Chain A
Amino acid sequence: AQTVTQSQPEMSVQEAETVTLSCTYDTSESNYYLFWYKQPPSRQMILVIRQEAYKQQNATENRFSVNFQKAAKSFSLKISDSQLGDTAMYFCAFRSSGAGSYQLTFGKGTKLSVIP
């Protein structure tokens, strides 16, 4: 079974600074999908970014980018120019890509606080 580990329960960053959230996972599969979801105090789960394991290029969405290290099974999220609205729980998630795959495995989350 796959596992997803987020080793930083809480982090803080000054507004406008850059922060990196860590995620590692364990799988024996060669192809899969990785996601970062954001859960602000409103508790809505919002997709931040998605990465397909067969793509070597790191995914980027505006101020959000990932550092995907397949060999190391690492998938970190970098938030540039942090804004107050980035304050939220961030969850890393894994999903197999095989036929019939649908199960998302989530990490425990990292609580990020952006300080004015």
Chain B
Amino acid sequence: DAGVIQSPRHEVTEMGQEVTLRCKPISGHNSLFWYRQTMMRGLELLIYFNNNVPIDDSGMPEDRFSAKMPNASFSTLKIQPSEPRDSAVYFCASSFERDTDTQYFGPGTRLTVL
């Protein structure tokens, strides 16, 4: 079975540009999570979807960040406009049952904002 798929694996952009990160969760999973990993702050939860509905977006840093899940097999995380401090690795993870199951992570997208 395919795991969580993320694209692109690497993204280099210039400050002020729009960045869109994509995620395809494991088929059948109904929960999806976006995380950000930095050296300073470690792994942080940005947003959590259950059955395509955003449940908790309290971790989203600011209005420049937005996330959508139009269907059960696709989610996007958008940063507009991007800033150098957004440089990080962004992970998408999914799980089948939010209360008992394990979160499976994608390979991550390394974002560099110049």
Interface residues of A, Cβ cutoff 8 Å to B: 33, 35, 37, 42-47, 50, 91, 97-104, 106-109
A47→B50 CA distance, assembly (Å): 21
Interface residues of B, Cβ cutoff 8 Å to A: 31, 33, 42-43, 45, 48, 50, 55-56, 89, 91, 93, 95, 98-100, 102-108, 110
Given contact pairs A45-B91, A91-B43, A97 touches B100 in the complex (Cβ within 8 A): yes
Shortest distance between the CB of A79 and any CB in chain B (Å)? 20
A103→B98 CA distance, assembly (Å): 9
Shortest distance between the CB of A64 and any CB in chain B (Å)? 15
Give the 3 A-B CB pairs with smallest separation, nearest first: A45-B105, A106-B43, A102-B98
Residues of A within 8 A of B99 (CB): 97-102
12 additional contacts, CB 8 Å, given A37-B105, A108-B42? A43-B107, A43-B110, A45-B93, A45-B108, A47-B104, A97-B99, A100-B98, A102-B33, A102-B98, A103-B48, A104-B45, A106-B43
Partner of B102, one of A44, A50, A103, A108: A50
Interface SS of chain B: helix, strand, loop or mixed?
strand
Interface SS of chain A: helix, strand, loop or mixed?
loop
Shortest distance between the CB of A21 and any CB in chain B (Å)? 16
A101→B48 CA distance, assembly (Å): 11
Residues of A within 8 A of B100 (CB): 97
Residues of B within 8 A of A107 (CB): 42
Residues of A within 8 A of B55 (CB): 102
Given contact pairs A43-B89, A47-B104, A103 touches B45 in the complex (Cβ within 8 A): yes
Name the residue among B45, B91, B102 with the largest chain A CB count within 10 angstroms: B102
Residue of A nearest to B103 (CB): A104
A46→B89 CA distance, assembly (Å): 15
A46→B102 CA distance, assembly (Å): 11
Residues of B within 8 A of A91 (CB): 43
A91→B42 CA distance, assembly (Å): 10
Given contact pairs A97-B100, A100-B99, A43 touches B108 in the complex (Cβ within 8 A): yes
